[in-house]
Amino acid sequence: MLLMVPLTLKCLGVYQNGVWLTISSLLVWIDQMDIGLGNGLRNKLATYMAHGEYDKARQAVSSTMAMLLVIIVPVLILLSLLVWYGDVYGFLNVTPSMIPELRRALLCAVVLVSMTFVLKFIGNVYMGLQLPAISNLLLSAGQTLALLATWMLLVYGKATFLNVVVVNVAAPLVVYLLSYPYTFLIKYPQLCPSVSCVNMQSALQLCNLGVKFFWLQVAAIIQFMTANILISKFFTPVMVTPYQISYRYLSLIIVGFTVVCMPFWNATTDAYARGDMVWIERANRKMNLFTLVIFFLLVLMTVISPYIYQFWIGDDCHVPFSMTVLMAAYIFLLVLSMRYSYFLNGVGALRLQLYMTFMAVVFIPLAWIVSSVSHDITYFLFVMCLCNIPGIIVNIIQFKKILKGRATGIWRV
């Protein structure tokens, strides 16, 4: 993904690349419209497999795919009509002469992303089977294919806006299309989706659990996506660049943390379903040690950040050291929250997490007040950190209560 940034810039130039980045950020919202069904599936599948309930597991897989189709078909029709008949140039503030094929590119992107929306549940199946490496392999294979395809467009002089958009959104779809027959016809035929196995009761159970995951995803997106807009509004668009640079640099920690700790989610579901609290306590000690390692890595990355920025971006942009320090604190708080959320998500204890999402709403007015008074982006970043602390405290308390068997009422659901 880091290599894709300069590559697409070279293919499209500053203007068209900016439009593509805007489109790609809008396409993220289609990906989030599964109302959390994917995460609901991985939890249910892990539980069913732990108890050897393979018929229910197949029902869950079939029902998830059916529900995804029910969601995406009307959305695809609506978006296609809006793209074809709406004023897409005015909406994106694009000069028609600069990108004459914008409408076709958008239509192709919507169709291909909608198809990927349905098939990406294959990754959640592997998550539920406690094979996160396979799920991550599918994601990285799609990104790698997109990188290679974009590079070939550049080499052969075919790097038009339409072609770049198509290969980037089509690459993940190709990977999922190839993985579908291998997964359900060769490797796990007992889980192969079937119309006869679609069960509305199973679908509704997945929706009830999935909606909770959906709102957690939306809350995270609100804070992350509005940060750029608020920085541009409260300060200047120029400040968005160093903010993004420091975030992308330090968020490599989140990538590493996710790769190492994601297996704990479904392993926790399996262990909790079997009542194996000894395993959970042992896993908790390992997570504590790894979180401590993350802390020292963030300190090291912060100390050497001026040299990294100089090597990466040169003199094109200056990132204040204070911004890096607060961004490191923000990243560590995210890691700390995820460290407990993986366990709580694994046992389906989501209600308190849902209640704490109100901090995503509080963040916007609080950031506005602090920024208006101080006119200093340092305080804005401090507010970002502050809004994550209450959720972390609640997660820790709930985790300890469940681990000791003392969770009742709201602390258990």
Confidence band, pLDDT 50/70/90 cuts, at residue 59: confident
Highest mean pLDDT among 197-211, 343-357, 370-384: 370-384
Cα-based angle 200, 204, 207 (whole degrees, multiple of 5):
135
> What's the one-letter identity of residue 58?
R
What percentage of the chain exceeds 70 in pLDDT?
Answer: 83
Nearest to 337 by CA among 277, 272, 385: 385
In this prediction, residue 210 carries a pLDDT of: 56
87: left (phi over 0), alpha (psi -120 to 50) or beta: beta
pLDDT at 177: 95
pLDDT at 252 over 80: yes
* Per-residue burial over 302-323, b = 16 or more CB atoms within 10 Å of its CB, e = otherwise: beebeeebeeeeeeeeebeeeb
Least confident of 11-20, 83-92, 133-142, 173-182: 11-20
Q: What is the pLDDT of residues 296-316, one digit of tens each?
A: 999 999 999 999 888 876 776
* pLDDT higher than threshold 90 for residue 392: no
DSSP for 157-222 reads T---HHHHHHHHHHHHHHHHHHHHHIIIIII-GGG---GGG--HHHHHHHHHHHHHHHHHHHHHHH
Helix axes 102-119, 161-181, angle to 10 degrees: 20
Whether 54 shows a pLDDT value over 90: the answer reads: no
* Residue 35 scores a pLDDT above 80: no
Mean pLDDT over residues 136-165, rounded?
Answer: 92
Q: How far, in Å, are 334, 346, 378 from residue 250 at the CA level?
A: 12, 26, 17
Question: What does the alpha-carbon distance between residue 317 and residue 390 come to, in Å, rounded to a whole number?
Answer: 34
Q: Say what the pLDDT of residue 406 is.
A: 76
Look at residue 109 in the predicted model and tell me its pLDDT. 92
- Distance between CA atoms of residues 348 and 129, nearest Å: 17
Q: Which range has highest mean pLDDT (274-278, 282-286, 333-337, 356-360)? A: 333-337
pLDDT at position 256 is 85
Dump pLDDT digits (tens) for 255-266.
888 877 777 766
Band (237; pLDDT cuts 50, 70, 90): low
Domains of the chain, by residue range, sit at 1-198, 201-413
Q: What is the pLDDT of residue 212?
A: 59
User: What integer pLDDT is reported at residue 10 of this predicted model?
Assistant: 78
What torsion, rounded to 10 degrees, do the Cα atoms 350, 355, 356, 361 define?
A: 130
Predicted confidence at residue 391, as pLDDT, reads 84
Rounded to whole angstroms, how far apart are CA atoms 161 and 2? 20
CA torsion 172-178-180-183 (nearest 10°) is -110
